[in-house]
Amino acid sequence: MENAVKKNKVKMSKQDAIWGFIFISPWILGLIFFTGGPIIASLILAFCDWDLITPPKLVGLDNFIKMFSDTRFLNSLFNTFYYTIFSVPLGIVGSVMVALLMNQKWKTVRLLRTIYYLPSVTAGVASAIIWMWLLNPDFGLINYGLSLLGVKGPMWMADELWSKPAIVIMSLWGVGGNMIIYLAGLQGIPRQLYEAADIDGAGMFDKFRYVTLPMLTPVIFFNLIMSVVASFQVFTQVYVMTGGQGGPADSTLVMVLYIYQQAFKFHNMGYASAIAWILFIIIMIFTLLQFKVAGGWVHYEGELKK
Amino acid sequence: MAKKSVGFFESQRIQGQIASWVLYIIAWSGALVFVVPLVWMITTSLKAPDQIFTVPPRWLPYTQLTLNYDTEIKASNSGKIKITKDTDGTKRIELGGYSHVIPAIAELKVKKNDIVAKGDIIATIPNSGKVAIVEKVDKSKTITITSDKGLLIKEYQISQDTKPVVKDGATVHMGDKIADVWPQWSNYGKAWAPKALDETFTKYLMNTLIITITGIIGVLLSSTFVAYGFARFKFPYRDQLFMIMIATMMIPAQVTMIPTFFLFKQLGWIDTFAPLIVPTFFGGGAFNIFLMRQFLMTVPVELDEAAKIDGCNYLQIFWIILVPLVKPAMATTAIFGFVYNWNDFMNPLIYLNSTSNYTLALGLQTFTTMYGTNYDLMMAASTIVLLPILMIFFFGQRFFIEGVATSGLKG
């Protein structure tokens, strides 16, 4: 009798397994055709010369060797790092600060949250155009604001020194998207922790330093990884603001824009794949590095109980 | 002793209140900065071309046009007057490195070799003139103010939304109102059907709606379906597959872009919507599966079991029991999907070639290449593109916030 039940269960779970596979099968097919397959294909292409028309020609490491002497590639590498190094930390500090403000108990706080969040849903071509206008050297609002402070504003997108900071500043307009995630994190911090801190006589800054910040580190960590991945892929803003050129003088030519140009303007599919793989490897290294260092600063509440 | 401690807490309370006020002011100042670009977009979109390039910038479009120009030209340096004459009657006065352009209408107040000090009046322009109105084909008008001798004093280009309040041939004086200026609603018409482009925004909007709506359907169906598989079934390698799925979020789209492009090219799908729609039916994106799975995990398994006892198969359980329960999460996914598709630029850029297939994002980008300096029209076009997404945001606000909460990002 007991044996029969067990047998039935085993049978059921086998059937279950089949059903499980049936349900996830769309994703499995997608993984094969739109992710896994293409990744392998692009890895092979990275070692080929291919113009989409004639069959790919194996060229060994040529594409990768070429990169070292390709100043435009090196430029795009530098520009992408520049953008990431400034936009990610500034974006995280900015969104955490805004989240802290939005975690107050004010009557208007819902309206405030909406205002801060709004720009992040407008991301794309339209917001790039708005910023082209805001950053207009002669008639833009930004330089007008600076002139009120007695500062003569730079030429922004027309100056190779200032074009990258311009894109970074623009990216900060979108901190509202991450703000919402931090806000969820802040609201998940147990109240008892603050009460305990109160009893210990902790001030506002102590509470932030020893309660809020450590409790928020897992969210910051998640966000850091996603932000780095996203910032390495910056494309639309730059494409729209520079007409697809990455100018002036390649000063905003980022990696994805260069991959796009190589692939769809010059039809160097092999070279473009090689650069895409370099981008992928950089992102993987950064992500793994962050996981490595994470133990040192990311605090998981579970560890407290040890 | 007791009294003292009350005083201590009292002072802390006041301190806290002051801090709260300071934070409140900071929060609102920041919010102002954040909202300015959007306000600026809308006000610029309602301006006439001559109101755009002004220093200082105008916040609001002005409501009337008054006759205004300099009636005196002053020396910007001291020195000896040197006069040269251009062929069109314009004179130039060179003064210690500065060159003053003296229009034909101006009456010179100095002679050659006169010595003037900085700020002296060197020429005057009459402070009244005769109106001449010329209407152009597109209903926009030019109002010119000329002197008795027919020399041009000032010229105003006014758009069709601007109504002149002076008559042809009338005499106007400095400071007189010459036209009522309404917000330039016609900018929206001009942006909607741009003369320099083959297509109107009606076409772009239809294309975007087709792609967005079918894309959302694909994402909702397949991500919920797959999430159900991950959330409710035990099968070999399930957890490993789930980890792989999470890991695919890290893969930059550019790595798969070229082979995928080739695949779609072989299928003959280039310049159709298929490359933008079909992939959504294959899983609907790792993030969405993750989101739906997290949500499904919160639905009690007992519901499934009860349905099973009632004789439901898994498809029925999925469709009849679970789908209605996960509707809020589906709304979140739908809204994020809407925002993603609406703003997506790179995929349409790669896959769509003919302008009749362009999405709003592509159309808007093309628009800027043709109207690069017409900020009034560019802002009107941007507003057209952003308006639906802003509306969706206002009506669906709680789903944005809920989506973040249910995806379990708390760590």
Cis peptide before A248 (omega within 30 of 0): yes
Say if residue B10's pLDDT is above 70: no
pLDDT one-digit tens code per residue, A168-194: 999 999 998 888 888 888 888 888 888
CA distance A90 to chain B (A): 15
Residues in chain B with CB shorter than 8 Å from the CB of A124 are: 342-345, 361
Average pLDDT, integer, range B76-90 = 79
Task: Look at residue B201 in the predicted model and tell me its pLDDT.
Answer: 93
Which chain B residues touch A136 with a CB distance below 8 Å?
375
Q: How many CB pairs under 8 A join A and B?
A: 271
Residue of A nearest to B32 (CA): A115
Nearest-10 crossing angle of helices B2-45, A71-102: 130
For residue A305, pLDDT over 50 is answered with: no
- Residue A43: which residues within 8 A CB-CB, separation 6 or more? A273, A277
pLDDT at A106 over 60: yes
Higher pLDDT, B121 or B213: B213
The residue of chain A nearest to residue B336, with distances taken between CA atoms, is A121
Chain A residues with beta carbon closer than 8 angstroms to that of B404: 180-181, 184
Rounded CA gap, B361 and B341, in Å? 10
pLDDT band, residue B407 (cuts 50/70/90) = low
pLDDT for residue B31 is more than 70: yes
Instruction: State the smallest CA–CA distance between residue A69 and chain B in angstroms.
Output: 22
Q: Dump pLDDT digits (tens) for B284-342.
A: 889 889 888 888 888 888 888 888 888 888 889 999 888 888 888 888 888 888 888 99
pLDDT at B346 over 90: yes
Q: Which residue in A17, A35, A229 is closest to B234 by CB distance?
A: A17
Cβ-Cβ contacts under 8 Å, A39 against chain B: 251, 255-256
B406 confidence band (pLDDT: 50, 70, 90): low
Average pLDDT, chain B: 85
Residue range B47-72, pLDDT digits in tens? 887 778 887 887 777 777 788 888 88
Considering chain A, what percentage of its residues have pLDDT values greater than 90?
60
Strand partners, B172: B129
ipTM value = 0.87
Phi, psi of B102 (to 5 degrees): -110, 110
pLDDT per residue over A109-152, tens digit each?
888 988 998 898 887 899 999 999 999 998 999 999 999 999 99
Beta partners for B79? B116
Residue of A nearest to B266 (CA): A52
Specify the higher pLDDT residue, B330 or A64.
A64
Q: What is the mean pLDDT of chain A?
A: 89
Within a 10 A sphere around the Cβ of A196, how many other Cβ atoms? Answer: 12
pLDDT at position B385 over 90: yes
pLDDT at A155: 92
Residue numbers in B near A202 (CB within 8 A): none
Taking CA–CA distances from A263, the nearest residue in chain B reads: B258
Asked if A299 and A219 count as a contact pair (C-beta separation under 8 A), the reply is no
**Of the candidates A50, A78, A102, the residue with the CA atom closest to the CA atom of residue A272:** A50
Hey, are the CB atoms on A31 and B283 less than 8 Å from each other?
yes
Amino acid A192: pLDDT: 87
What pLDDT is recorded for position A9?
53
What proportion of chain B, given as a percentage, has pLDDT over 70?
Answer: 94
- CA distances in angstroms from B294 to A182, B306, B404, listed in the order given: 19, 21, 11
pLDDT tens profile A219-259: 898 889 889 999 999 999 999 999 999 989 999 999 999 99
Judging by beta carbons within 10 Å of its beta carbon (0-12, 13-18, 19+), is residue B227 exposed, middle or buried?
buried
